[in-house]
Amino acid sequence: MKHLFTFSFLWLALVVFAQDDLLPRGFSPAERALLDWEQFALPPSAVGIETPPPYPVRHMAEWEELQALAITWRSYPQILTQIAFHAAQEVKVIIFCNTESVKNTAQNTLQVAGVNMANIEFVVAANNSVWIRDYGPNCVYANDTQDLNFIDWVYNRPARPKDDAIPTEAGTYLNIPVYSTTANPERLVNTGGNFMSDGLGTAFASKLILEENALNNPYNAGPHTEPEIDAIMNDYMGIERYIKMETLPYDFIHHIDMHMRLLDEETLLVGQYPQGISDGPQIEANLQYVLDNFNSSFGTPYKVVRVLQPPASNGAYPPLGDYRTYTNAVFVNKTIIIPGYDVQFDTIALRIYRENHPGYKVVAINCNDMISASGALHCITKEIGAPNPLWIVHQRLPDVPNNNAVSGYEVSAQIKHRTGIANAQVFYTIDTTQAYEPVPLQSTGGGDDWTGVIPHQPNGSKVFYYISATANSSKTQVRPLAAPMGYYEFNVNDVVSEVKEPLGVEMGEIFPNPASAITVVPVNAGGSLFASLELFDVFGRKIRTIFEGNFPSGPSRYYFDAAALASGTYFVSLRTETETTTRRVVVK
């Protein structure tokens, strides 16, 4: 009777709490209680085919061509309206609505906001929460570019059985097969916010995926060892290399989209905190683990782009402030929508995205109303891939250090379509106000690899280029998707770089610390080296440059007057061409 009473009480709490539109991205109190109560596992109300796809599959990258963006109309209608406004200029927006009444409300709201209603489609389907990234369908293609399939994992929120059925609803609406990891021995719990792939068989996650499928998990999954999880992800998702990082101390949902994302196949965008603050140390440790042990799918080291994790409105970082993040963005063909919080920080984040995706429309939507629930734009959207993609994979060309030694610049790409490729070209220019010049690409060995050569350009030139291909079906596609407004670029010059071992330089302990007057910053350099010492406040704003120039070999000291500063925490950064080190100093 005790267990029966406990179950009845928890079930009542579950039902009541599940009606709340403001279910957090993390566990609700009722869900936490259910997970703690023995081995509670609520079966989904609808499942797809409970075996892997019968052919090799490839999970699409988020920057690939979409036919639609899916959202669930529930919490945060103002933010959802803005997402729909921007996304509907690119693709269809599929909106899941709990009832006809909700559908009518959403329709009226979007019409008043001037959204392109020709690209809005409503699906009345029962749901529990707005967090479709975590429970929505995952897109994979048969044999790289053929039939589109949906993959549905077991959702790890037991109070949300209606959410767990949305992939099946989406598959029915779009007539797309749904394959579900819902039956043992391949029953697997996973969430979309803790998964990111490069479209070439490499994916990233936190070790939450191991914890939730381990022995004694409350979802009746497996249990699975890490190799077994990898095998399931390979069978269902085409993931050949599944990179898992330590969970973070303060991001309690442990979803990687809150602090990192892939910008392309070889570029990681990583959230950055001031030295030693919040999740910063673990994020840096995870990044070093990745860089030390894995190359990109092209076989080259990952490039790293950093973006500030801004403090909350009270100036605090997690756990004392909201988990504000700019990595929680969404690609919608030629548009990138990023979260916004405060103009002084948003401006920098917008610049970083635009620098890495020239020609794309990059817009920010204010997410202050939702970020306290531990999620932003990526969390409430889900990409639906194009039904017949023309897939172009290209590793962008590096700068040319010795331009006189080359007669041209070879461009290579992997290009595929289910009907085959009729022709492909690379278009280039050294002046974007002038027309691009075409150069044909040739298929090598009759396969999917295509190559061509951009002609030699004058020293000092910046070359802009993009790739275009036409399938036998007459479909045409470009890469990047925003071309010709968007492009890749590289520099050419006649400087021969002499490879030298990097000179070591380190910053010693700042003293006195806490400081109130003249403060000393010791530096020790292994040789004469150009670098800078800069002082920043807790918001990441530069207060002053302490020194910039050639640091002499050996020990040296630099100074700033703390008496001229307001009380608080500051950071001194030592920056060279290859690295940055930071130390904290407290001003009394």
Q: Angle at the Cα of 286 (from 285 to 291), degrees rounded to 5?
A: 95
pLDDT of residue 494: 62
Which one-letter DSSP state was computed for residue 252? T
pLDDT in tens, 414-429: 999 999 999 999 999 9
Q: With left for phi above 0 and alpha for psi between -120 and 50, is residue 144 left, alpha or beta? A: left
Do residues 45 and 70 make contact, with C-beta atoms less than 8 angstroms apart? no
Strands 529-537 and 542-551: antiparallel
Which tokens belong to 306?
């950093």
Beta strand extents in 1-79 (DSSP E only)? 57-59, 66-72
Fill in the amino acid letter for 451.
T
Q: What percent of the chain is predicted at pLDDT more than 90?
A: 70
The set of residues, in sequence order, having a beta carbon less than 8 Å from that of 459 and lying 6+ positions away, is 403, 404, 492, 493, 494
Which tokens belong to 120?
């809005």
pLDDT in tens, 156-214: 987 788 999 999 999 999 999 999 999 999 999 999 999 999 999 999 999 999 999 99
Mean per-residue pLDDT of the chain: 89
Q: At residue 497, does pLDDT exceed 50?
A: no
Q: Which domains does the chain have, with CATH numbers?
A: 11-385 (3.75.10.10), 391-491 (2.60.40.10), 505-587 (2.60.40.3080)
Which one-letter DSSP state was computed for residue 352? H
Do residues 430 and 457 make contact, with C-beta atoms less than 8 angstroms apart? yes
pLDDT in tens, 372-396: 999 999 999 999 999 999 999 999 9
Query: Among residues 472, 492, 470, 489, which one has the least CA distance to residue 480?
Result: 489
Which one-letter DSSP state was computed for residue 294? -
Max Cα-Cα span within the chain: 86
pLDDT of residue 340: 98
Fill in the amino acid letter for 217.
N
